[in-house]
Amino acid sequence: EKRLLIGSSAPECGHTCGACSPCKIQIVSYECEEDFGSHAEACPLGYLCLCHGKSFPIP
Amino acid sequence: MSGGYWFALVRRLSFLLIVTSFYLNLKCSSTTIADEVAALIELKRVFENGELELYDWSEGSQSPCHWRGVTCDNTTFLVTNLNISVLALSGEISPAIGNLHSLQYLDMSENNISGQIPTEISNCISLVYLNLQYNNLTGEIPYLMSQLQQLEFLALGYNHLNGPIPSTFSSLTNLEHLDLQMNELSGPIPSLIYWSESLQYLMLRGNYLTGSLSADMCQLTQLAYFNVRNNNLTGPIPDGIGNCTSFQILDLSCNDLNGEIPYNIGYLQVSTLSLEGNRLSGRIPEVLGLMQALVILDLSSNHLEGPIPPILGNLTSVTKLYLYNNRLTGSIPAELGNMTRLNYLELNNNQLTGEIPSELGSLTDLFELKVSENELTGPIPGNISSLAALNLLDLHGNRLNGTILPDLEKLTNLTNLNLSSNSFSGFIPEEVGLILNLDKLDLSHNNLTGPVPSSIGSLEHLLYLDLHANKLSGPIGVQGGTSNSTTLSYLQCSHLNYLDLSHNEFFGPIPIELGQLEEVNFIDLSFNNLSGSIPRQLNNCFNLKNLNLSYNHLSGEVPVSDIFARFPLSSYYGNPQLCTAINNLCKKTMPKGASRTNGPLGATAAWGISISVICLLALLLFGAMRIMRPRHLLKMSKAPQGPPKLVTFHLGMAPQSYEEMMRLTENLSEKYVAGRGGSSTVYKCTLKNGHSIAIKKLFNYYPQNIHEFETE
């Protein structure tokens, strides 16, 4: 189990996009609405693998 | 482990039982097309404006398959999809919905539907997708919905549903997306729903959920998104949190969680970790510095103490680091300069000491730097001017000293500069006028001297200018010395709406050019050495709501007509030469009030005592106002009110004024939101002539955003 290591690293896409290339890691903003009084820029960010506009979940 | 196994076994058994009953159910209710027509007609009848919105749903029809929003199966001709979202339907959902046994996809979102979710919906056993969000549904979530065994997507957010989250949802073995946000759900999060092998998205934000988080949440082996923001959850973050290795987003913010951030959090692979707005205590664990997949780290508004671990500098993918509103001590680690992707660095409202490290100058992608309300000392580091992307620089409420660097002109994207409540000295550099996008400049409560540079007049976007409580001198406005063809002054900042020059040493007359500030609503020139009369040109400042000219050496009459009728006499106190002209009789001179100046205070000791009591009260009041001030400013900065950040589309028609747009959209109310992008919100605004325009509010003014705007 690789998960025994503490800490994490920015994911890599590798062959996640299948035959499509180039398969690039992309930071995407999840949809969110500002709560009253909350931070204006608080929308969560995550990673996706992107290839020619098509997105694939990270491995 | 064996407990988990038994649990899984029990769950499989219950699943079998439900499947059996479902086949029985199907047997005794074979649906015909006629039944479905009847069900849909009944559904339409119970919607209040069904007749209007679903006009082609007619009783005599042979088949409903061509009706608005209806899709049928190609071979059976039974209804499989019903999409009647965003149709302004009101009224209720008829129990007849339960007769559409072949329905796989049901979307009734964004209507005005009220009443309860009918239990009969649980008879739509083929449902894969169910979306009822953005309505006014009330009552509890029917626990029988757990019969919808095919369900993969369930969204009930933005309603008024109350009661508990049904623990029976745990039997929905295909459920991938569960969104119950922004309801009034209460009780604990049922541990059973954590035992799902299919759930990928769990959104429970904005309810009244109580209880504590269970380590069982890590049994969600496929979950990528876990959001319980804004509930009433208590207790600690479970020690076993490190087992939630599938999570990409973990948002536990704005609850009542306490205890320390556990070491095991370091095992998470999350990109967004939001723990803000709880009561977490202890130190920031160093292990966070090993979580290099992080893109957002938000620990703000907790009770964290101790130093900022320098190892956080290893987080080279982080774009947002929020540590504000804690009790952090020590200095700002120079290592933060290694976080080269940072866009937002907010360390404000802590107890940080030492100097601002010059290494922060490497953060060339930074949009916002807030280190206000700490105990920082020393000068602004020279290389801060290499932060070319900087939009907001807030250093207020520290003990910083030295001069304001002329180099700040290189910050060409700066819109908000706040250096107030520090010990800066020397002149305001002429180069401030080269920060062309500046809309807010606050240098109040420092030891600045000399005149206000005339270059400020070239800041055409400037909305807010606060220079009060310094030792600035010279005349206000047009400078005597400059002999250029057009003498600039900040009185030419035509959008200026807030001007505070009080508590300085300005002298000379109040310039008539103040009347050019058509949008100004606040002018405070009190406690200076201004002389001459009050210019009638102030009557051109239609929006002026607050005028304070007290404690100067003004003379002549206090105007009472037009705009001046709005201001109380206290606006003019402490100007012994000034007289009121009420009823055209200029007899009464202005009351002295609690004079700060060295005027004659009277002879008797009793008079002296009463004056000092008033002074004391005034001091107390002033002190209280200083305490109130930062919060007020914070609010201002949250809701910037200014034209430069609004972009209008479809500009075929006459340009609209900012005020009119704000009025038509009720100050950009949520009601008028047409869409949202990563960098902006788009509002729809219908003009008087019936045309619609779209208004785009950019979140920050940065070349990248301008580019996005062009592409949309």
Whether B496 contacts chain A with CB within 8 A: no
B698 touches chain A (CB under 8 A): no
Ordered by where they begin, the domains of chain B are 33-123 (3.80.10.10), 663-698 (no CATH)
**Confidence at residue B558, expressed as pLDDT on a 0 to 100 scale:** 86
Q: Which of A8, A11, A45, A47 is nearest to B242 (CA)?
A: A8
Q: What is the mean pLDDT of chain B?
A: 81
Q: What would the pLDDT profile of B535-554 be if each residue is shown by its tens digit?
A: 988 888 889 999 999 999 99
Res. B480: pLDDT tops 60: no
Whether A39 and chain B come into contact, CB under 8 Å, resolves to: yes
Looking at the complex, does the CB of residue B294 fall below 8 Å from at least one CB of chain A?
yes
* Res B515: pLDDT: 85
pLDDT score of B101 more than 70: yes
Strand, coil or helix: B582: helix
How many Å lie between the alpha carbon of B106 and the closest alpha carbon of chain A? 22
From chain B, pick out residues whose CB is under 8 angstroms from the CB of A41: 320, 344, 699
Report the C-alpha gap between B479 and B428 in whole angstroms.
14
Tens of pLDDT along B211-254? 999 999 999 999 999 999 999 999 999 999 999 999 999 999 99
Question: In a mutagenesis test of the B interface, which of A30, A31, A43 is the best target, namely the one with the most B β-carbons within 10 Å?
Answer: A30
CB B165 within 8 A of CB B140: no
Predicted TM-score of the model (pTM): 0.78
Across the interface, do B272 and A35 touch by the CB < 8 Å criterion? Answer: no
Report the pLDDT averaged over residues B188-209. Answer: 95
Using 50, 70 and 90 to split pLDDT, how confident is the model at B629?
A: very low
Among B230, B271, B699, whose Cβ lies nearest the Cβ of A35? B230
Which of A6, A12, A25, A27 is the best residue to mutate to test the B interface, defined by the most B CB atoms within 10 Å of its own CB? A6
Tell me how close the Cα of B696 comes to any Cα of chain A, in angstroms.
16
What digits encode the pLDDT tens for the residues B640-678? 333 323 333 222 223 334 444 445 555 555 555 544 443
- Helix (H), strand (E) at residue B522: strand B522-524
**pLDDT tens-digit series, residues B79-100:** 999 999 999 899 999 999 999 9
**Chain B within 8 Å of A1 (Cβ-Cβ)?**
no
CA separation for the pair B106, B87 (Å, rounded): 14
- Asked if A9's CB is within 8 angstroms of B293's CB, the reply is yes
Of B539 and B527, the one with more pLDDT: B527
- The residues facing B162 across adjacent strands are B140, B184
Residues of B in contact with A31 (CB under 8 A): 676
Query: What is d(CA B508, CA B472) in angstroms, rounded to the nearest whole number?
Result: 13
What are the beta bridge partners of residue B400? B378
Distance CA B220, CA B241 (A): 12
Question: Is the pLDDT score of B74 beyond 50?
Answer: yes
Q: Which long-range contacts (CB under 8 A, 24 or more apart) does B10-18 make?
A: B11/B170, B11/B171, B11/B195, B14/B171, B15/B149, B15/B171, B15/B173, B18/B146, B18/B147, B18/B149, B18/B171
Q: Show residues of chain A in contact with B269, CB under 8 Å.
A: 8, 11
Task: Give me the pLDDT at residue B336, please.
Answer: 97
Mean pLDDT value of segment B376-381: 96
> What pLDDT is attached to residue B231?
97
Nearest CA in chain B to A27: B295
